[in-house]
Amino acid sequence: MNIVARWTNKNGCEGRIPGDFGTVQAAEKAAANHLAKHPQMAEVTISHKVGGVVKTVTRD
């Protein structure tokens, strides 16, 4: 489905979690794992390459 996940850290820097995901659920799982492993991360935005932002995953 061409879903990607991009992170933003507490300093405002941005990057991308490697890989394309087939489902939003798979991207959410990767986002949760990324946030757990990297405490300096503030949020992960999940988006479809064509359709735009689907969801934002935060620590809350």
pLDDT 10s digits, 1-29: 689 999 999 899 999 999 889 999 999 99
Domain range list for the chain: 3-58
Is the dihedral angle over the CA atoms 18, 31, 9, 43 positive or is it negative?
A: positive
pLDDT confidence of residue 49: 82
**Comparing C-alpha atoms, which of 3, 6, 29, 8 is closest to residue 16?**
6
pLDDT 10s digits, 40-55: 989 999 999 888 888 8
pLDDT confidence of residue 1: 63
pLDDT confidence of residue 29: 94
In the numeric block, which tokens belong to residue 22? 């087939």
pLDDT confidence of residue 60: 67
